[in-house]
């Protein structure tokens, strides 16, 4: 039996994969999600979601997708890693993503085909095309410039392409170097880590989502406080630490994770913290 089965759970509660089912709507995540939905439905153009490493950007992207279930009018495309060697490669990739199969010889060919496609799907078919880009910190200045051009395609009322970029904070420096780019961002949002109360809620939520019975508790309040102190409310760190705590619960055959157990894990964990050479 798996370690979580021993604890009476149907699924792994603290997996580090970006599964929307385990996405806890903290105030910051909920706000990002709601505002993104509004920006997309109003076809406002470019949205930018920034956050430190492990704050939940990829999970947010997948949850957004899951929130537009059977709405035929919306077509979502996701770029998981926008490291392209040239503008042409990038535009060609977008053409293929949009289902355009012709043989394109130049960036101009690609742009024209994309514009035609966006006009057809947005105006003739009254649909909304959404391009989501994860790992947006990998977008080069050239790619950003190309996105800016695509965002210029518009009718009198709306933008023909909706772009949502999810990126670590370092993208901000690059964007500031492109004239007028920041002005074009319709929605800018920075995801904050969780408060202590939200950390407790996230842990509870993930345990319940994994099948823990309603009134059961696997962490004492002091243990949860220690988790928040160490992780500073960063969701990936919370998941990793809680996973280790549950494993040690099973290994030592204990009923509940308490503060000393978490402290011991933190001591082990601290030995692995990266320290650049002086
Ligand atoms: N709101 C949340 N509720 C529950 N778990 C979350 C939440 N946000 C993130 N997580 C968890 O944290 C981990 C990291 O999330 P995710 O991969 O989405 O972060 P990220 O911001 O994309 O990280 P990176 O900057 O490395 O790309 C995942 O295990 C995810 O399930
Ligand atoms: Mg990510």
Tokens of 238: 């919370």
Most ligand 1 atoms within 8 A of CB, residue of 13, 24, 55, 56 to mutate: 56
In the reported structure, the alpha carbon of residue 270 is separated from the centroid of ligand 2 by a whole-number distance in angstroms of 23
Judge if pTM exceeds 0.85. Answer: yes
In the reported structure, the alpha carbon of residue 27 is separated from the centroid of ligand 1 by a whole-number distance in angstroms of 15
For the CA of 59, the closest atom of ligand 1 is: 18
Ligand 1 pocket by Cβ (under 6 Å): 16, 18, 22-24, 26, 29, 51, 53-59, 168, 202, 235-236, 239
* CA nearest ligand 1 atom 29, residue: 16
Q: Which of 83, 84, 78, 80 is nearest to 98 (CA)?
A: 78
Q: What is the pLDDT of residue 278?
A: 66
Chain-centre distance for alpha carbon 219:
27
Q: Which of 226, 133, 115 is nearest to 171 (CA)?
A: 133
Q: What is the pLDDT of residue 1?
A: 66
Q: What is the pLDDT along the chain (278 residues), one digit of tens a residue?
A: 677 888 889 999 999 899 999 999 999 999 999 999 999 999 999 999 999 999 999 999 999 999 886 777 999 999 999 999 999 999 999 999 999 988 899 999 999 999 999 999 999 999 999 999 999 999 999 999 999 999 999 999 999 999 999 999 999 999 988 878 888 899 999 999 999 999 999 999 999 999 998 777 899 999 999 999 999 999 999 999 999 999 999 999 999 999 999 999 999 888 877 777 76
d(CA 7, CA 24): 21
Domains of the chain: 6-17+194-267 (1.10.8), 27-190 (3.40.50.300)
């Amino acid at each position: 039996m798996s370690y979580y089965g021993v604890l009476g759970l149907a699924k792994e509660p603290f997996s580090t994969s970006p599964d929307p089912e385990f996405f806890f709507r903290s105030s910051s995540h909920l706000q990002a999600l709601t505002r993104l939905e509004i920006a997309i439905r109003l076809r406002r153009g470019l949205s930018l979601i920034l956050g430190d490493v492990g704050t939940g950007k990829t999970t947010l992207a997948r949850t957004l997708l899951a929130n537009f279930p059977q709405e035929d009018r919306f077509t979502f495309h996701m770029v998981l890693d926008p490291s392209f060697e040239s503008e042409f490669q990038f535009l060609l990739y977008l053409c293929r993503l949009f289902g355009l199969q012709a043989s394109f010889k130049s960036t101009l060919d690609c742009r024209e085909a994309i514009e035609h496609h966006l006009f057809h799907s947005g105006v003739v078919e009254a649909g909304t095309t959404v391009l989501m880009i994860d790992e947006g910190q990998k977008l080069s200045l050239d790619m950003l410039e190309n996105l800016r051009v695509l965002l210029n395609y518009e009718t009198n009322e709306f933008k023909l392409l909706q772009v949502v970029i999810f990126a670590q904070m370092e993208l901000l420096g690059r964007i500031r170097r492109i004239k007028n780019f920041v002005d074009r961002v319709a929605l800018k949002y920075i995801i904050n880590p969780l408060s202590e109360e939200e950390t407790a809620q996230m842990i509870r939520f993930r345990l319940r989502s994994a099948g823990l019975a309603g009134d059961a508790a696997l962490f004492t309040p002091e243990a949860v406080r220690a988790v928040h102190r160490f992780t500073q409310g960063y969701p990936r760190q919370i998941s990793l630490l809680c996973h280790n705590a549950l494993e040690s619960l099973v290994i030592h055959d204990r009923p509940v994770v308490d503060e000393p157990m978490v402290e011991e894990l933190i001591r082990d964990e601290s030995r692995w913290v990266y320290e650049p050479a002086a």
